[in-house]
Amino acid sequence: MKIATWNINGSKARIDGLVAWLAEARPDVVCLQEIKTVDEGFPVAEVRALGYHAAVHGQKGFNGVAVLSLAEPVAVGRGLPGDPDDVQSRFIEATFATAAGPLTIAGLYLPNGNPIGTEKFSYKLAWMDRLERHAARRLGEEIPYLMVGDYNVIPQPIDARHPNNWLNDALFQPESRASFRRLETLGFVDAVRATSDGALYTFWDYQAGAWQKNDGIRIDHCLLSPQAADRLTAVGIDRHVRGWEKPSDHVPVWVELSMGAP
């Protein structure tokens, strides 16, 4: 079963690229971030034409997440628990029936947090605390569980071509990185780092020729519960998509799990 994450930076602006990638990669499930539209504005007809169901948690103009899947989910949850006053659309979960039993996938768009020293950074850290509490509860269910998406966290210096350029950015602050490590300490596996210790990136800014210079960072992650990690068979980053016409500044990251009967 192929499960992907992709911050597409606008579903309407990137629909041609999304359709092309879906046709090429054929993931069973893809979690999208920054769809930047209300639910009714998401291009459902285009993805349905390729055989995908769409569960959307949108927001006008910014944020917004969605799950596209070849099989219809048996349950969908919208919003990260823990703060009923948080109206930003950044979290969606979908549960699927598989031959091996239930599989739950969370797609998330973690707050950027810049500039440091403002309420935006405080919101980022509070959101990560909520995510940690929710993740711990999910681990207690002892089923395959994935949290995939744009974490807006550079976990290690190797995850940036020029880490010194990010020292004053919320993505690379000790607090942000510590929150990410706490998720791993709970028992989650960073799929990319479980299979490679190389310099791999998922985001290249539109400015200053970052793509041409390979001046990238790795901020899009697939974290797997132990039950999901036991079934991991492959990991990939579709970096070639960044070179397409009118690309997102992020590229898809995917994992493959063996979800046949145990």
Which tokens is 151 given?
């974490």
Q: Is 250 annotated in the active site?
A: yes
- pLDDT (tens, 9 = 90+) of the chain, 262 residues, equals 999 999 999 999 999 999 999 999 999 999 999 999 999 999 999 999 999 999 999 999 999 999 999 999 999 999 999 999 999 999 999 999 999 999 999 999 999 999 999 999 999 999 999 999 999 999 999 999 999 999 999 999 999 999 999 999 999 999 999 999 999 999 999 999 999 999 999 999 999 999 999 999 999 999 999 999 999 999 999 999 999 999 999 999 999 999 987 6
Is 221 catalytic? The answer is no
- Mean of pLDDT over the chain: 97
pTM for this structure?
A: 0.97
Residue ranges of the binding site for Mg(2+) = 7, 34, 150, 152, 249-250
Residue 150: active-site member: yes
Q: Which domains does the chain have, with CATH numbers?
A: 2-257 (3.60.10.10)
Annotation: binding site: 7, 34, 150, 152, 249-250
Which one of 57, 145, 150, 169 is the catalytic residue?
Answer: 150
Burial of 15 (0-12, 13-18, 19+ CB in 10 A): middle
| DSSP string across 220-248 | EEEEE-HHHHTTEEEEEE-GGGGGSSS--
Distance CA 226, CA 177 (A): 21
Q: What is d(CA 204, CA 67) in angstroms, rounded to the nearest whole number?
A: 23
Question: How do residues 122-173 score in pLDDT, each as one tens digit?
Answer: 999 999 999 999 999 999 999 999 999 999 999 999 999 999 999 999 999 9
**Among 109, 145, 151, 201, the one annotated catalytic:** 109
